[in-house]
Structure 1
Amino acid sequence: MNKVIIISNASSTHTVRWVNAIALKKFDVYLITQHDVMKGVSKNVNVIKLPFSGFKGYFFNVFALRKIIGELKPDNIHVHFASGYGTLALNARIKYLLSVWGSDVFRFPQQNKLNKFLLERVLNNATQIFSTSFAMKDETLKYTSKDIQVIPFGVSPDLYSNPNYSERSGTVTFGLAKVLEARYGVDTLLQSFAKLKKETDIQLKLEIAGDGPERRNLEILSKKLNIESSVKFLGWIHNADLHKFYKNIDVMVVPSREESFGVVAVEAGAAHLPCIVTDVGGLPEVILHDKTGIVVPVDDVYLMSRAMHKLAKDKPLRIQLGQKAYNNVIVKYDWNKNVDEMCNWYERGK
C-alpha cells in the first residue's frame, strides 16, 4: 500500500477533508502535526503529534520529524502551508511535495525580506508545488520558477440539495459563511445590505455563519446601520452541517478583500445558488461574471448593493445563475475528481 505522510495543521477543516478523502482511496495515511487535532479525523488516518508547538516548533521539531520519517519510510511526503510546515520540512532536509494555501504566499513574503527569502527556499526545494487556484499559482510564481499544478479544493455536490424555491416566502435571504476577520470584508456586506434596505420594499434578510475576532464589531455596526432586526449572526457552523445553512439562502455574497481560492462560492454553486463575489484572488475563477453570478470591485458598497438588488428582484435570474453555477461546479470542482488528481501524483511518487 502506498504510504503517504501529510504534514499539516490538524486544526484545519481543510486538512481533515484532505486526509480523510485520501485515506478512503486506500492509501496508508499519516498526518503529522504540531497543532491540536480537531474532531472529525477518520480512524483510518494515523495521527502523530510533534512535541513542540507554535513558532518554535518549525525549528525544534526537526529531529522528531526526521526520526518519524526514517521509521515510516513513506512513498510520499506532502507538506501543506509553505511558511509554517514548509519551513519545518526545509529545516529537516526532506524530500517533499508542497501545497500553498494563501496567506503563505500572499501575505508572508510581503512582511519582510527574510520571509521572502525563506519562502523562496521552501518553494524551490519542493519536488512539486500545488495550488488551489490560478490566481494563487500566479502569485506563487513571483517567488519560484518551478512547475505548479492547480488542483482545486472542491466540494461533494451530493451533499447539497437544490433549494425548493416554491416553498419559500416572499423574503429574499442573502448569506455568507466565513471567518469574521477584517480581510473578508463583512463590514462592506453590512453596508451594502443597509443601503439596499433603504432603497427597496423587497423583504430582505441576511444570515452570517461564522465566528472570529470581528464579530462584536460587526454586530455593533449592524445596529448603527439600523439593520440588526434583519441580520442574524449564527456563529460557527460545523462543515458537515453547512448544507442546512445553504438551504435557507437565496443568494450568497462573498465580499472578501483577500481570497486565495473561494471554497464558499464553490459550495454555493453546489447548492444551486447564485453568488456575488469581489474581484480578488481566486473568486473570479470560481464565479463567472453574469454567467454563474456577479463579480464586483472590492469594497465597492454601491456596486455590491446594485448587484444584490438585481438578484433580489429577479427570481428567474437567481434560478438561472444558480443552475449554471451548479453545472460549473460539476465540471471543475467535483471533490472526488480533485482528490483523484492528487492521488495520481502520489502514485507517481511511489
Structure 2
Amino acid sequence: MEKTRVLHVVREAEGGMKKHLLSILNGLNKDKYQLAVGCSFDKKTTDDLREDGVSVYCVDICDGINFKKDFVAIKKLRAIIDDFRPHIIHFHGAKASSVGRLASLGYNLKIVVTVHNFPNYKNMNKIKKYFYLTINKYLNKKTDAVVAVSYALKNAVVDEESIPSDKVRVVYNCIDMPQFISTPLNLREKYDIASDTFIIGCVARLIPSKGVQDLIEALNILRGKIKAFVFIAGDGPYMEYLKEMVGELKLDNVEFLGFIEDIFKFLSSIDIFVLPSRSEGFGISVAEAMALGVPVIATDVGGIPEIVKNDENGIIVKSEAPKDLANAIEVLALNEDLRNKFSKKGKEYILSNFSKEKMIKELDLLYDELRRK
C-alpha cells in the first residue's frame, strides 16, 4: 500500500512548538508515512531529521506581516508541494498556517492546522483584527481539521474564529523524555550557591507574555524571607529589559542562562520550577519539570490548569500577581513534605497523561480519517 505523504510546515521556532513538531516527525511510523517538513531549522536539527528519513525543505516564514517575504514564502511552498506531492499538509502556528493555507489554494490536499498559542486579537486595533479574522474565517472553511494543544485553546479559537466545535480536536503536547538524562549542570557548585539556598528555575522565551518580570518582582518581595537563587533559561527580545529590572532592584540572586539545548539537563539541576506566564497555550516546560519530579508553581492561564492541579500535584497562582507568586514560593520552599508530594504526584500525572505514544496515536487516527474522506 502506498505510504501516506505528510508535509509539515512551521515558521522559525524554538521551544515548545519545535519540540512538538520534532516529536511528531520522529514518532510517526516511517513504514506507514513518508514525511517532509518545510522549515528554517538549524543545520544539526536538519541533518538529524534527514538521517531519520524525513525530507527537509528550507523555507523562511517570517513573523508578522511582510508582503514581500510572505509572497516569496508562498511561492516556495507551492514549489515544495509540487515536488513532494503530499496527501496531507499540516501547518503549525498562526503565521505558518496563514501563509501555508494561501499557498495550498488550488491543490487537492487535506489540510490540518495545529494551534499552539492564543489568537492575539485583543491586542489588535479594529482594522487589523477585521483583516485577520476575515482571512482566517475564509481559510478555516478550506481546512479539514484544527488541532488545539489544550481545551483552553480549543475554546478560544472556536469562540474567536467561529470554527465548528467538531472540527477542532484537542491533542496534548507530549513529554518526549530522553532515554538517558545527561549529567545535571551542577549550578550550585558553578555559581557557589550555599546548600541551604533553594535553586529556582524558569524556562521561557523572554517576551512580556511569559511573565518573567513577575518572577523578578516576586523575588524582590521575598528578599530576607527565604534564601533563593533564580536561573532563567531562554532567550528573546525582552532580555535586556529584564536584566535592567534586576539591576534596578539590586538583586544579586538572578542569573540569565540564555538558550539551553538540553533542557532536561537544566531541569534536573533545580529544586523548584516556576512558570509565571500571562498567556500560555499549553506550558510544555511545566510538564517537563513535573516529569522529572521537580515541584512546580505556575499561573492560572491557558492550558496550564489542565496540567497542574492546584494543591494536588503543584501550585497554581493568579497571573500578573507577584505577591501571590512570592507567597507560593515561600510556602513550597519551607515545606519539604509538600515538595515531596508534588514531586511524586506530578511525575505520575505527566507520565500517565502526556506520553509521546498517546499523542502519536491520536494524530495517526486523525490522518487515517482524512485519507478515508
| TM-score class normalised by the smaller sequence | 0.7 to 0.9
Aligned to 2:349: 328
Structure 2 unaligned blocks of 5 or more: 185-193
Paired with 1:207 and 1:64, the residues of 2 have a C-alpha distance of: 40
Contact 1:192 1:305 in 2 (8 A): yes
Contact 1:59 1:88 in 2 (8 A): no
Aligned to 1:45: 54
The 3 A distance-change label for structure 1 pair 10 and 30 is farther
Give yes or no for the alignment of 1:145 onto 2:164. yes
TM-score, normalised relative to structure 2: 0.83
Amino acid at match of 2:164: S
The 3 A distance-change label for structure 1 pair 70 and 286 is same
Aligned to 2:81: 69
Note the C-alpha offset of 1:9.
Answer: 2.1
Amino acid at match of 1:172: F
Aligned to 2:213: 187
SS at match of 1:265: helix
Aligned to 1:121: 138
Note the C-alpha offset of 1:332.
Answer: 1.5
Amino acid at match of 1:48: Y
The 3 A distance-change label for structure 1 pair 160 and 290 is farther
Paired with 2:62 and 2:271, the residues of 1 have a C-alpha distance of: 42
Paired with 2:320 and 2:340, the residues of 1 have a C-alpha distance of: 26
Give yes or no for the alignment of 1:203 onto 2:235. no
Note the C-alpha offset of 1:203.
Answer: 2.3
Note the C-alpha offset of 1:339.
Answer: 2.2
More displaced, 186-195 or 56-65? 56-65
Aligned to 1:29: 35
Deviation by residue 1:288-324 (Cα, 9 ceiling, x = unmatched)? 1111111111111111111000000011211111211
Structure 1 unaligned blocks of 5 or more: none
The number of residues matched between the two structures is 342
Contact 1:82 1:119 in 2 (8 A): no
Aligned to 2:21: 18
More displaced, 185-194 or 155-164? 155-164
Deviation by residue 1:174-224 (Cα, 9 ceiling, x = unmatched)? 1101111111111110111121123x2x32111111122221221222222
Paired with 2:357 and 2:206, the residues of 1 have a C-alpha distance of: 29
The 3 A distance-change label for structure 1 pair 347 and 174 is same
Paired with 1:333 and 1:104, the residues of 2 have a C-alpha distance of: 24
Paired with 2:235 and 2:147, the residues of 1 have a C-alpha distance of: 29
Give yes or no for the alignment of 1:299 onto 2:320. yes
Aligned to 1:98: 113
More displaced, 283-292 or 334-343? 334-343
The 3 A distance-change label for structure 1 pair 208 and 60 is closer
Give yes or no for the alignment of 1:134 onto 2:151. yes
The 3 A distance-change label for structure 1 pair 207 and 15 is closer
The 3 A distance-change label for structure 1 pair 156 and 71 is closer
The 3 A distance-change label for structure 1 pair 300 and 51 is closer
The 3 A distance-change label for structure 1 pair 234 and 207 is same
Paired with 1:22 and 1:120, the residues of 2 have a C-alpha distance of: 29
Amino acid at match of 1:39: K
Note the C-alpha offset of 1:122.
Answer: 2.3
Contact 2:206 2:212 in 1 (8 A): yes
1:306-345 equivalences under 5 Å are 306-345=327-366
SS at match of 2:222: helix
Paired with 1:121 and 1:338, the residues of 2 have a C-alpha distance of: 29
SS at match of 1:176: strand
Give yes or no for the alignment of 1:82 onto 2:106. no
SS at match of 2:302: coil
Paired with 2:60 and 2:200, the residues of 1 have a C-alpha distance of: 44
Contact 1:108 1:116 in 2 (8 A): no
The 3 A distance-change label for structure 1 pair 295 and 50 is closer
Paired with 2:217 and 2:263, the residues of 1 have a C-alpha distance of: 25
Paired with 1:58 and 1:343, the residues of 2 have a C-alpha distance of: 31
Question: 1:170 aligned to 196, 201, 204, which one?
Answer: 196
Amino acid at match of 1:28: Q
Aligned to 2:175: 155
Amino acid at match of 1:296: V
Amino acid at match of 2:99: T
Paired with 2:367 and 2:280, the residues of 1 have a C-alpha distance of: 27
Give yes or no for the alignment of 1:4 onto 2:9. no
Deviation by residue 1:214-256 (Cα, 9 ceiling, x = unmatched)? 212212222222322x111111101xx1111112211111111
SS at match of 2:247: helix
Note the C-alpha offset of 1:141.
Answer: 0.3
Note the C-alpha offset of 1:163.
Answer: 11
Amino acid at match of 1:145: P
Aligned to 2:247: 223
Contact 2:222 2:330 in 1 (8 A): yes
Question: 1:288 aligned to 294, 301, 309, which one?
Answer: 309
